């Protein structure tokens, strides 16, 4: 039943080990990122992390793996840019869950990711339009005040 659930997920489900190597890559991850399961298995998460964000990502990843604590609460959505196989950058939101052994030691992490690029671009366009309208309104007000 678990495999059917993972295979039917529209979202990407990615499991990585303690060092950040991919151990599970579902069809949703393939659809979103373009890497096949064969491409991704055993690879570093770097395949989907933009180069400029890798140092920060690995600092947080290692800290979380070592401490067993995440600064993000259960269910908190993280929003970050990600890379696709064809080099495109997309915007993703995701949650993480730690995998622990019987002694409670973190042995990996599960991330469930969703492509929110379209929504992110719409919000960016709306903010730009709002800023332009506010600037035009301020200009009109200034013009009336100086008359």
CA distance 147 to 134: 20
CA distance 132 to 33: 34
| Radius of gyration for the alpha carbons in the chain, expressed in angstroms and rounded | 20
- Please enumerate in sequence order all residues whose Cβ is within 8 A of that of 137, keeping only pairs 6 or more positions apart, or say none: none
CA distance 111 to 14: 5
**125 or 105, higher pLDDT:** 105
- Give this prediction's pTM: 0.77
110-142: per-residue pLDDT in tens?
A: 999 999 997 767 766 777 777 777 777 776 666
23-73: per-residue pLDDT in tens?
A: 999 999 999 999 999 999 999 999 999 999 999 999 999 999 999 888 766
- For 36-108, where are the alpha helices, taking DSSP H only? 37-40, 54-67
The ranges assigned to domains in the chain are 2-115, 117-147
Query: Options 3.10.20.30, 3.90.920.20, 3.30.450.20, 3.60.20.10; which CATH number does 2-115 get?
Result: 3.30.450.20
CA 64 and chain centroid, separation: 16
């Amino acid at each position: 039943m678990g495999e059917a659930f993972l295979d039917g997920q529209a979202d990407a489900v990615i499991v990585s080990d303690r060092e950040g190597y991919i151990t599970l890559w579902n069809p949703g991850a393939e659809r979103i990122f373009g890497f096949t399961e064969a491409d991704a298995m055993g690879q570093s998460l770097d395949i989907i992390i933009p180069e400029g964000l890798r140092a920060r990502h690995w600092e947080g990843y290692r800290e979380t793996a070592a401490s067993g604590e995440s600064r993000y609460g259960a269910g908190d959505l993280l929003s970050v840019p990600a890379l696709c196989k064809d080099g495109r950058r997309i915007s993703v939101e995701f949650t993480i869950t730690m995998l622990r052994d019987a002694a409670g030691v973190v042995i990996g992490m599960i991330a469930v990711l969703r492509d929110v690029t379209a929504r992110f671009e719409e919000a960016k366009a709306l903010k730009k339009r709002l800023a332009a309208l506010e600037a035009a309104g301020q200009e009109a007000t200034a013009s009336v005040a100086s008359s």
